[in-house]
């Protein structure tokens, strides 16, 4: 079992994808092992107590419909107690374990002195616009550095959308007038593995209109130094830099208060 406290130590960040994959693996493995045990035991009993045509012995204590087979403190009661006890231990352990990890997912890793980057994501029919702390905005492609905690404040300027990236295991509502939060981090090792630029598909997960299925974007993660260079080049630029995709039919993007983020320490 993994201690959630050790997960929060700055150098040992874990991406949400890692955490969710681990929970999935643990539940799948335990479910399979316990499933095999229970089904095997059931089949074995079906065979053992099959009707072979012989008469039941006089003192046979047959189970009664509607009554728990307690066996008056005999071996049946022990078996019952053992199976309830074991189930309780397994279930409670899983709850404590998964809850600890989910608290980490909620809060994200502690960034310490490094600070994180806060980006406002605004959904529209049909695309995504990203607002950086310096006022720069990008259409549909979010460019961020590796080894940094990226905080997303997600909202919408028209109807309900849902911002998500399956590969990063992030997903959050985009609702007009409201802000939901999520975070992600991609390691530089991962960026190296993907050839110096890691890309992740962004999709809308809320049926939001005729262009819903085409409402795709991309998260691009590049090395820290490259990103800083790129980011410095966007200084003072508050207009959309590349409008590669479908523009909003609601006119100019509204830069609301929520769109002005900030690098928080």
- DSSP secondary structure string for all residues of 88-128: HHHHHHHHHHHHHHHHHHHH----TTS-BEEEEEEEETTEE
Contact between 169 and Cu ion per CB under 5 A: no
In the bound state with Cu ion, the residue whose beta carbon lies nearer, of 168 and 208, is 208
Contact between 208 and Cu ion per CB under 5 A: yes
Contact between 168 and Cu ion per CB under 5 A: no
Contact between 136 and Cu ion per CB under 5 A: no
In whole angstroms, what is the distance from residue 165 CA to residue 171 CA?
6
Radius of gyration (C-alpha) of the chain in whole angstroms: 27
Give the nearest distance from C-beta 123 to Cu ion in angstroms: 6
In the bound state with Cu ion, the residue whose beta carbon lies nearer, of 9 and 213, is 213
In whole angstroms, what is the distance from residue 264 CA to residue 4 CA?
24
Contact between 153 and Cu ion per CB under 5 A: no
In the bound state with Cu ion, the residue whose beta carbon lies nearer, of 146 and 215, is 215
Q: Which of 121, 215, 222, 259 binds Cu ion (CB under 5 A)?
A: 215
Give the nearest distance from C-beta 161 to Cu ion in angstroms: 3
For the record, the structure tokens of 105 come out as 């997912």
Contact between 157 and Cu ion per CB under 5 A: no
Give the nearest distance from C-beta 155 to Cu ion in angstroms: 12
Region near Cu ion per CB under 5 A, out of 69-77, 96-104, 201-209, 224-232: 201-209
Contact between 161 and Cu ion per CB under 5 A: yes
Q: Which of 105, 119, 204, 222 binds Cu ion (CB under 5 A)?
A: 204
Length of the chain equals: 265
| Positions in the binding site for Cu ion (CB under 5 A) | 161, 204, 208, 215
């Amino acid at each position: 079992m993994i201690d959630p406290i050790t997960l929060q130590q700055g150098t040992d960040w874990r991406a949400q994808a890692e955490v969710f994959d681990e929970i999935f693996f643990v539940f799948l493995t335990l479910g399979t092992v316990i499933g095999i045990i229970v089904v095997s035991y059931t089949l074995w009993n079906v065979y053992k107590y099959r009707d072979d045509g012989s008469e039941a012995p006089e003192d046979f204590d047959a189970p009664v419909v509607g009554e728990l087979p307690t066996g008056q403190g005999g071996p049946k009661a022990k078996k019952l107690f053992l199976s309830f006890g074991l189930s309780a231990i397994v279930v409670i352990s899983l709850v404590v374990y998964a809850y600890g990890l989910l608290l980490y997912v909620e809060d994200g890793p502690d960034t310490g002195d490094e600070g994180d980057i806060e980006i406002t994501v605004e959904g529209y029919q049909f695309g995504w616009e990203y607002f950086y702390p310096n006022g720069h905005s990008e259409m549909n492609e979010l460019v961020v550095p590796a080894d940094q905690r990226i905080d997303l404040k997600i909202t919408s300027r028209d109807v309900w959308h849902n911002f998500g990236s399956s590969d990063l295991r992030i997903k959050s509502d985009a609702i007009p007038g409201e802000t939901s939060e999520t975070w992600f981090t991609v390691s530089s090792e991962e960026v190296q593995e993907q050839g110096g630029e890691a890309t992740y598909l962004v999709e809308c997960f809320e049926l939001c209109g005729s262009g819903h299925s085409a409402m795709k974007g991309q998260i691009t993660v590049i090395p820290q130094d490259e990103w800083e260079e790129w980011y410095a080049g966007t200084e003072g630029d508050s207009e959309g830099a590349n409008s590669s995709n479908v523009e909003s039919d609601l006119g100019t993007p509204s830069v609301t208060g929520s769109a002005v983020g900030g690098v928080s320490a």
